[in-house]
């Protein structure tokens, strides 16, 4: 059995060997606790018939645990300086493919077709760079990739927003965009002490599982998200105030927006944070014809 990469001593040795220094701009924080990595991987329920996609493998701490559990691992690393490190640390594993690319720029569907066509069960498992967590998640969901779900670590505050329920402070357009596609749960809280260097905030691992069907049928998903984003522009304002200032020509169409709200049973004086995804879905369907 290989010695785990994710111990403080081994991590220090690897960094020293390659003269590696952390880049703040890339949000690099490496995990140095093998138990936490094993726990993350266990939430993904992988078998040798599964493939895993990882984003930001760093020096391979999580990657090696994925390689032990899954049939194949495809890892995207943006930092060229880490490629020789990964070639070294992951050399015992022949089922890992490291791609030097920015996940936000890559055609992930094409990589599925080229490298993962033999796998029916694919999970994204990653310690996401904190500064691009939201764009990465939204890209993976909007690209409609054939994945079962994601087990990803992020800043606890973002995890709280993604998993929030209506009527809570953390609930907003991000909660709606992700919960529309996925069932969400916080799998574990991760203290900052298990990272090198230590981040300023605690982290959380969330598990997202693809829904068989969205919670509401909508005419246009893009428009649903536009309406929900518009409803949170100023959280303290009522939904009618937010929508008339965020929808095109909304002030002139105020009466039509009020009618739509009333038709779907939403009091125009409610705040956006009190509406469920179902209510936003019905509202976006009702408004669709007026704004297209």
Q: Are 223 and 284 in contact (CB under 8 A)?
A: yes
Query: Closest by alpha carbon to 53, among 34, 31, 72?
Result: 72
Residue with tokens 């493939």: 51
Return the number of other C-beta atoms located less than 10 Å from residue 89's C-beta: 22
Q: By three-state DSSP, how is residue 83 classified? A: helix
Residue with tokens 């609930």: 171
Return the number of other C-beta atoms located less than 10 Å from residue 75's C-beta: 24
Q: Is residue 31 a known part of a binding site?
A: yes
* CA distance linking residue 168 with residue 38, whole number of Å: 32
Q: Is residue 102 a known part of a binding site?
A: yes
Q: Is residue 56 a known part of a binding site?
A: yes
Sign of the alpha-carbon torsion through 59, 7, 47, 140 = negative
Q: Which two tokens mark 226?
A: 């536009």
Return the number of other C-beta atoms located less than 10 Å from residue 217's C-beta: 10
Please name every residue paired with 185 in a beta bridge, in sequence order, or none if there are none: 207
Q: Which two tokens mark 234?
A: 């100023």
Q: In which order are the strands placed within the sheet that holds 149-155?
A: 96-100, 72-77, 50-55, 121-127, 149-155, 203-210, 182-190
Q: Is residue 88 a known part of a binding site?
A: no
> Which residue ranges make up the annotated binding site for S-adenosyl-L-methionine?
29, 31, 56, 77, 102, 127
> Which residue ranges make up the annotated binding site?
29, 31, 56, 77, 102, 127
């Amino acid at each position: 059995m290989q010695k785990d990469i994710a111990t403080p001593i081994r991590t220090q040795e690897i960094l020293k060997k390659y003269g590696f220094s952390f880049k703040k701009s890339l949000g690099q924080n490496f995990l140095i606790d093998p138990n936490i990595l094993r726990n993350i991987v266990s939430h993904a329920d992988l078998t040798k018939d599964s493939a895993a996609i990882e984003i930001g493998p760093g020096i391979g701490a999580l990657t090696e645990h994925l390689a032990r559990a899954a049939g194949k691992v495809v890892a995207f690393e943006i930092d060229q300086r880490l490629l020789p490190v990964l070639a070294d640390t992951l050399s015992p594993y022949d089922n890992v493919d490291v791609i030097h690319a920015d996940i936000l720029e890559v055609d992930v569907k094409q990589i599925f077709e080229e490298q993962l066509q033999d796998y029916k069960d694919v999970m994204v498992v990653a310690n996401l760079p904190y500064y691009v967590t939201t764009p990465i998640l939204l890209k993976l969901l909007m690209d409609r990739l054939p994945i079962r779900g994601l087990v990803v670590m992020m800043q606890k505050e973002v995890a709280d927003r993604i998993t929030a329920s209506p009527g809570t402070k953390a609930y907003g357009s991000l909660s709606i965009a992700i919960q529309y596609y996925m069932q969400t749960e916080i799998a574990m809280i991760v203290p900052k002490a298990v990272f090198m260097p230590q981040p300023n905030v605690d982290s959380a691992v969330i598990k997202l599982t693809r829904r068989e069907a969205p919670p509401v049928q909508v005419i246009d998903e893009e428009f649903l998200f536009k309406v929900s984003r518009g409803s949170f522009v100023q959280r303290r304002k009522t939904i009618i105030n937010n929508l008339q200032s965020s929808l095109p020509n909304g002030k002139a169409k105020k009466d039509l927006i009020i009618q739509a709200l009333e038709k779907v049973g939403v009091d125009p004086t409610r705040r956006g944070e009190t509406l469920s995804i179902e209510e936003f879905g019905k509202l976006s369907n009702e408004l669709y014809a007026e704004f297209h």
